[in-house]
Amino acid sequence: MSGHGLHSHPPHEEMVHHAAGGHGGERHSLSQWVAIFTAILAAFGAIVSYQGTHLMNEVLLQKNEAVLEKAKAADQWNYYQAVSTKLHMMELAIILAPDKAVGFKEKIAKYEQQKVSIQQSATEMEQKSEAANRESAHLNRPHNDLEIAMIFLQIAISLASITALTRRKWLFAIAGISAAGGIGLWMSAIFLF
């Protein structure tokens, strides 16, 4: 009968086709919604993961800058101590050899000048270190929110997968709540930062 444009299916094929949601204008099945939901969450998860990684790199960069400036400041303070020691040696030399005091006084003046500039330099480096530490801490707060957002998105994907297996619609609702929480945290971390 297929020659006349009429085609019929056995009754069991019609039931399978109907159960699979194969009718043109009908609503999507729960499995299709779960698949769409999971794909969307996977895309959000990729974005959140990228932003979290990028932000962590910035946190680490600022932390490294803080450590570097702190090490430079420590070097300057060591240099300051060395110049102070030389200054005290010259002061002691004046007491022990007053007849050579003129040469020692010139060196004392030189060391006193050096101490001032070294102290300023060390203080500036310590301030840079503290500023980099503050920036690192400031950037770390939204990073923590992004990590928690990612956890909520992963929970939502897991619950959606279980929904597909068990056909329990209430699990899909909980997955939606978890996804909303994750997306909300992501938005607050990025847009309110």
Residue 143: per-residue pLDDT: 85
Q: Is the pLDDT of residue 130 over 60?
A: yes
- Can you list the alpha helix ranges (DSSP code H) found in the chain? 11-19, 30-96, 101-166, 169-191
Query: Are 190 and 51 spatial neighbours (Cβ–Cβ below 8 Å)?
Result: yes
The whole-model pTM stands at 0.65
Report the first-to-last Cα separation within the chain, whole angstroms: 69
pLDDT one-digit tens code per residue, 28-72: 688 888 888 889 999 988 989 998 898 899 999 999 999 999 999
Domain ranges, ordered by start, for the chain: 30-191
Q: Is the pLDDT of residue 25 over 50?
A: no
Query: Are 185 and 150 spatial neighbours (Cβ–Cβ below 8 Å)?
Result: no
